[in-house]
Structure 1
Amino acid sequence: MLTRHGLILHVQRDDRLHVSISGNKWRKLKYVLRQALSERATGLLSFGGAWSNHLHALAAAGHALGLPTVGVVRGEPEYAANPTLTDARAWGMALEFVDRQGYRRRHDSGFLAELAARYPGFYLIPEGGSCALALPGVAELWRELPACDRLVLPVASGGTLAGLLSARPERTVITGYAVLKGQGWLADTVCGLHPPAAGDAGWQLRLDHHGGGYAKCRDADRRAIVELSHTLNLPLEPVYSGKAMLGLFRDIEAGHYTSGSHLVFLHTGGLQGARSYTSVKRSGQAK
C-alpha cells in the first residue's frame, strides 16, 4: 500500500525505551520526577483508569526511586486484580477507587486540597502525566527522529502532542489520532498545555478513528490491528498505537497523505495494557 501511494513510513520505537516505564510515559515523567525529588516529596500521587499506562509507569518509577505512590483510579475495587493494577500494587502503589462522578473532581481545587491533606508531602501529578513539566521531556524526542514531512502519533490526554508541538521543526506537520472521543475539548487541552499551539497551523487531530471511545475496540478493528501487527512485524495494542496505526493506514488508503511524503509513526508504548484489554474483553466488561 505504501509503495502504491508513494509514501515512506518509519516507526519510532519508543515502546523499547524501558521495560516498565514505557514510551511517552518515560519522557513525560522525566522532569516531573526530577522536580518531585528536588522538592523532597514524600511520595507521588496521580490519577487514571483501571488500565492506565500512566499509573503503571508511575508505580514502577516510584518503586525504583524508593517513593511511595498512590493511584486514584476511576472504577470499581474489583479491577484491582487486573494485570495493570496487579503490577502497580506489586510495586507498592496504594489504590483509591472512585466512581465516574467522583473522578470528574480530579481537577477541582477542593478535591486536590483534600488529597494533599491526606497525603502530606506527596507530589500530585495530573492524569496521564500531562503537565507543563512533561513537555520538555517529550520535546527531546526531536533529537532522535529522522527529518520527515509528517509525524503521526496516538493522542489521549494531549501532553505528548503538546510537548512535540513545543519544539516542532518548521518542515514537519504533526498528525495526532485521538484514541478517545475528543471532539472540541482535546484541541483545547493541547492548547492549554502549550498556548502557542492555538496559532500553529502545523498540526491536526484526526477524530474519527477512536473506535467508539477510550479502550473500546470493535471486533473488526481488533482483527485489523492484529493483521497490521503481523504485516509490519510490529507489536501493537488496541488502545493507543494500534488504533492510531489502523487510522493511519485507513487514511492512506483514502488518499489523505500526499504522495512523496516521508511519514514517521511514533509508537508511544503501552503494550502492557493489551493484557488487561484481553482479560476485560473475555469478561464482557470493555470500557
Structure 2
Amino acid sequence: MLNVRLPSPVVELHDERLTAAGVRVLLKRDDLVHPEVPGNKWRKLKYNVPLAVSAGTLLTFGGAYSNHLRAVAAAGHHYGFNTIGVVRGEEHLPLNPSLAYAVSRGMHLTYLDRATYRAKTSPLVLDRLHQEFGDFHLLPEGGGNPAAVRGCAELLAELAEPYDILLCAVGTGTTLAGLTTGSQPTIGVPVLKASLEDDIVALQQTAFGERVGDWRLLAGYHFGGYAKRTPVLDAFIDDFVSRHGLALDWVYEAKMMYALFDQVRQGAFSTGTTIVALIN
C-alpha cells in the first residue's frame, strides 16, 4: 500500500509581478502526494489499481523517459500486481534512469518500433500483446481512461479556498477532463504541438456521456513540442527557483507557469482574480 498525502497542500505564491497585477496565485502541490507516484499519476491510478490487482497484470505504454511507466511500476511493486511497459522505439542498453527504475520496481519491458507503436491501440497489436503476455488490465499511454478521469476529478473537493480559475498543464488531457467537472473555469496549457481538444472531449464523453464544464486550452506555450525546451524556458525555470525555491518540471509545469506569468504580463486576468495552478 502507498502512504499518499491527501489532500495535497495548497500554498500561496508570493511574487511582486502578481501583486502589481492584482492577481493571486495558489499552488496546488500535488507533486507532494507521494515521492514515487506523485500528483496526477496517483489520481489516474487510484481506480485502475483494483482492476490491475484483479487481473494480476497491468500493461501500459510510454516513451523511453516516461514518468508514467515509472509510476505504474512503483504502484505494481506496492500493490502486488505485475506490470508490463511497452516502450516506443528500440531497446538501448544500458537502460536510462527512468527505465532502469521501472525495472527495479519489477516492470517487464518490451519494445515496439515507432510505426507499430503508432498503431498500439489497434486490435492487431493488442491481440499480439495478449498472445505474448496473456490476460492483463490495459491502461492507455499516460493513464487516460474513464477510471483515471474519475480519480482526477476528486482533486476539486480538496480546494476549500474560493478561486476563480483552475490552471493545469495538458499532456494526454486526462487531468483536464476530470478537473472541468467543477463550477469554476479551467484553463489547460498544452505541452505539445498536437491539437488536444477532440481527445479531451472523447475522454469526457466516455467518462460522463458528454462534454462537461467550462474549459479552454491556452495554446502557444509548448516551446517546440513535447519534452522540448528552449533557453527562454530554461531561464524562466532558473529565475523561478531563485525567487521561490521550487524547481519546476520542464516538461509540464514550467510551461504552464510560464504561460501564467506571460498572461499576467499581458493583462489577461482582471484585478482580484485568484488562480489555482496545479503542480504535479
Please, what TM-score do these two structures have when normalized by structure 2?
Answer: 0.89
Q: Residues 92 and 252 of structure 1: is their aligned pair in 2 closer, same or farther, counting only changes over 3 Å?
A: same
Q: 1:246 aligned to 2:262? A: no
- Tell me the amino acid that sits aligned with residue 266 of structure 1: L
Per-residue deviation, residues 212-260 of structure 1 (Å, max 9, x unmatched): 0100001221121221133122231110111111111111111222221
Residue 156 of structure 1: aligned partner = 171
Q: Structure 2: how far apart are the matches of 1:102 and 1:253?
A: 44
Higher relative contact order (CA 8 A, sep 6+): 1
| Percent of aligned positions that are identical | 40
Per-residue deviation, residues 258-287 of structure 1 (Å, max 9, x unmatched): 22110000001xxxxxxxxxxxxxxxxxxx
Residue 283 of structure 1: aligned partner = none
Per-residue deviation, residues 66-122 of structure 1 (Å, max 9, x unmatched): 222111111331276211111101111111122321210122122112112211122
Residue 42 of structure 2: aligned partner = 26
| 1:71–1:94 contact (8 Å) kept in structure 2 | yes
| 2:237–2:247 contact (8 Å) kept in structure 1 | no
Q: Structure 2: how far apart are the matches of 1:198 and 1:255?
A: 33
Q: 1:110 aligned to 2:124? A: yes
Structure 2 residue runs without a partner (length 5+) = 1-16
Structure 1 stretches of at least 4 aligned residues deviating more than 3 Å after TM superposition: 196-201
Please, what TM-score do these two structures have when normalized by structure 1?
Answer: 0.86
Q: Residues 157 and 109 of structure 1: is their aligned pair in 2 closer, same or farther, counting only changes over 3 Å?
A: same
Q: Residues 198 and 218 of structure 1: is their aligned pair in 2 closer, same or farther, counting only changes over 3 Å?
A: farther
Q: Residues 198 and 261 of structure 1: is their aligned pair in 2 closer, same or farther, counting only changes over 3 Å?
A: farther
Q: Residues 258 and 182 of structure 1: is their aligned pair in 2 closer, same or farther, counting only changes over 3 Å?
A: farther
Q: Structure 1: how far apart are the matches of 2:257 and 2:114?
A: 29
Q: Structure 1: how far apart are the matches of 2:69 and 2:179?
A: 22
- Tell me the amino acid that sits aligned with residue 28 of structure 1: K
Q: 1:220 aligned to 2:232? A: yes
